[in-house]
A and B are shown apart, each in its own frame.
Chain A
Amino acid sequence: MTDERADGLAVGAQVRRGGFLLDVVLSVAPGEVVGVLGPNGAGKSTLLKALAGLIPVTTGRITLGGRVLDDAGTGTFVEPAARPVGFVFQDYRLFPHLSVLENVAFAPRARRWGKREARSAAAGWLGRLGLADLAQRKPSALSGGQAQRVALARALAGEPGLLLLDEPLSALDAGTRLDVQSELRMHLSEFTGPCLLVTHDPLEALVLADRLTVLEDGRIVQQGAPARVARQPATEYVAKLVGLNLYAGHADGSTVKLADGGTFVIPDRGQHGDVLISVRPSAFAVSLGPPEASSPRNVWPARVAGLTLLADRIRLDLSGTPPALADVTPAAVAELSLQPGSKVWLAVKATDLEVYSRAPVGVPGD
């Protein structure tokens, strides 16, 4: 299954920890940034730890550039210290007793460079990341954004062949995050090896990653280009993350019988079989009475279960067959005097439905 090219990272492994099983088949090309997205407890951190050698795989193997890092079949296991890995931890883990310079020089020194060469290499990295002024500071005297940059410099200073970032921006406040994010994007694009970036922030994943891998319950549920994942989510979790309604059903030409009740009319492209349909919340038209029939569209009654104020619109949580999340303007809510319990009619054009076949799990979708 895995593509063990001479270059790049190839993972085909299972990791069992207590009752949890991580089961992943994944390959990352050199210079490619793969965003690993998933809810808490999906196994994202476990995946990174297995790659870094902090946890051995239970079965399967991991290779980097054709070199076996871990192979449960043959028993080969490269200790973490011997893996060419740079790891940026969620909490940075900068050594509090060492200066910024010594922190960054740690990997070069541990990899048997002389003290002086290690320091000058570290100073070089600090300069490249615009941190030269901070060299003599202790980590406790750094701001969140500075600490994040130092953590990246420290990971890169070991000249790793594989870069792992565990929620690198999650500890930053919203303002700093955007600055650091654009900088991080630049540095990641300069990194020539494979890179994995774990996050649960879809925006971060969309901005920083060339490709997304979605993990749920220890399994890859979707892989693909960010744009595609954002348009055609494979699971409820991804749909929620990117703010879409998701329906599963069985297509038969121009109609889809939904799994949880209801039917959609879709543009007939000769699709048959199990499909998923994603719908933008803004694609729905909401009215008090049944709208007049016109172009092929789907109309059904629903009841308002809840209203949430978003930035410039109101999201209606609608129960019906099928249920939906629909966005309307505050003015519309006032005009229709919508409140929990209100009966409304929903309409959505067939052309606003994104219909796609349900891809087998774990197969790259691009």
Chain B
Amino acid sequence: MRASAASTRLTARHRARRAERGASRSAPVSLLAPGLVALAFLILPLIGLVIRAPWGHMASVLSGTDAVQALELSLWTATTATGVALVIGVPLAWLLARTVFPGQRLVRALVTLPLVLPPVVGGVALLLAFGRAGFIGQLLNSWFGITIPFTPVAVVMAETFVAMPFLIVTVEGALRSANLGYEEAAATMGAGKMTVFRRVTVPMIAPSLGAGAVLCWARALGEFGATITFAGSFPGQTETMPIAVYYALQTDPDAAIALSLILLVVSIAVLVSLRDRWLRGGSTQ
């Protein structure tokens, strides 16, 4: 019996609030305490970053690094990777959602594998396939004289490999839950399959498509393991922001903090842009 919990004191203000909102919203301590610990764990490191930032001499700290180069490289490779993912990932999402073919479950599992695979392993796999001695890389090299590893192309490939599943999974979910009635209606109005896809399917899943693209872009921007394994870290060529941060931390911690702050700002900007327009729309699908 918990008689003590059955009666409490309510002030007039609490009474009014409870009348307004219904049942009590106060949380039991056994949920409140761990919840606050989790919150602190997520926020404190970021606060540390902000406190330790060399606010006074940010420009001079950054001038000694390849920050601008690295940021430029990161932005354009992440954007290119997202573009590639849109061009080839969305059709794959459509195939997974709208067609039936043998081994479909296996294909779906393989597509989502990079989501759970350690990125370094992805980098090693890319190296074994597209590296100079890799089974595809060998052919590319001997037939066309193309070498991919340790070039910006390799950066884009590593980022696409790791980030594209985010887009595919989001878009496939949207396609599955989309109302097929609209596509039927479009077909009865003379629209061929590509017209239906372009003028009906894509506009109707636009919120999810946007959310998937932003998730994909953010994941590509933060890519480290696969990139450093497959593309290395040549400044101006393959040294992206996360890699630059990692190296800077060993030699020039202030520069590392400044670079991290830049990535933090970019991430927050993405989050804000997502919050109103896409996450909400994307979650309702």
Contacts and interface: CB of A to CB of B under 8 A. Distances in A.
Q: Do A and B come from one complex?
A: yes
Contact of A106 (B184, B189, B206): B189
Given A107-B189, A110-B190, A158-B189, A54 B206 contact: no
A54 B188 contact: yes
Interface residues of B, number: 18
Interface stretch (A92-100, A198-206, A261-269, A354-362): A92-100
A89 interface: yes
B187 A97 contact: no
Interface string B231-247: 00000000000000000
A98 B199 CA distance: 9
B191 interface: yes
A97 B203 contact: yes
A364 interface: no
B189 A91 contact: no
Given A81-B191, A89-B181, A93-B181, A106 B186 contact: yes
Given A93-B181, A93-B182, A106-B199, A52 B206 contact: no
Contacts of A111: 189-190
A106 B204 CA distance: 15
B182 A87 contact: no
Interface string A69-82: 00000000001111
Nearest to B183: A93
A95 B205 CA distance: 12
A85 interface: yes
Contact of A96 (B184, B186, B204): B204
B185 A93 contact: yes
A95 B182 contact: yes
A248 to B, nearest CB: 41
Looking at B185, B192, B199, B200, the one whose CB has the most chain A CB atoms below 10 A away is: B185
A81 B181 contact: no
Contact of B191 (A52, A83, A96, A110): A110
A154 B181 contact: no
A85 B204 contact: no
A87 B181 CA distance: 12
Interface in A41-64: 52-54
B273 interface: no
Interface string B181-219: 110111111111101000110011010000000000000
Contacts of B185: 87, 89, 93, 95
Contacts of B206: 97
Contact of A54 (B182, B184, B191, B192): B184
Contacts of A52: 188
B interface, over-half SS: helix
Contact of B190 (A54, A97, A107): A107
Given A81-B191, A107-B190, A91 B181 contact: yes
Nearest to A102: B199
B153 to A, nearest CB: 36
Contact of A154 (B184, B189, B195): B189
A54 B186 CA distance: 11
B204 A81 contact: no
A106 B188 contact: no
A87 B188 contact: yes
Given A89-B181, A110-B195, A97 B189 contact: no
A188 to B, nearest CB: 18
Contacts of A91: 181
Interface string A189-231: 0000000000000000000000000000000000000000000
B197 to A, nearest CB: 12
A80 B203 contact: no
A106 B184 CA distance: 13
A207 B200 CA distance: 35
Contacts of B184: 54, 80, 93
B208 to A, nearest CB: 13
B200 A80 contact: no
Nearest to B195: A110
B248 to A, nearest CB: 46
Contacts of B187: 53-54, 79-81
A91 B185 CA distance: 11
A91 B184 CA distance: 12
Nearest to B192: A81
Interface in A9-55: 52-54
A110 B186 contact: yes
Contacts of A95: 182, 185-186, 200, 203-204
B82 to A, nearest CB: 23
Looking at A53, A82, A98, A107, the one whose CB has the most chain B CB atoms below 10 A away is: A107
A106 B191 contact: yes
Nearest to B179: A93
B12 to A, nearest CB: 44
B182 A80 contact: no
Contacts of A93: 181-182, 184-185
Looking at A85, A98, A110, the one whose CB has the most chain B CB atoms below 10 A away is: A110
Interface of B: 181-182, 184-193, 195, 199-200, 203-204, 206
9 contacts: A81-B188, A83-B188, A95-B182, A95-B204, A97-B204, A107-B190, A110-B186, A110-B189, A158-B189
Given A81-B190, A93-B185, A97-B203, 12 more contacts: A52-B188, A79-B187, A80-B188, A81-B191, A83-B188, A89-B181, A93-B181, A95-B185, A95-B186, A98-B203, A110-B199, A154-B189
The 4 closest A-B pairs by CB, nearest first: A107-B189, A110-B191, A93-B185, A110-B190
Interface of A: 52-54, 79-83, 85-87, 89, 91, 93, 95-98, 106-107, 110-111, 154, 158
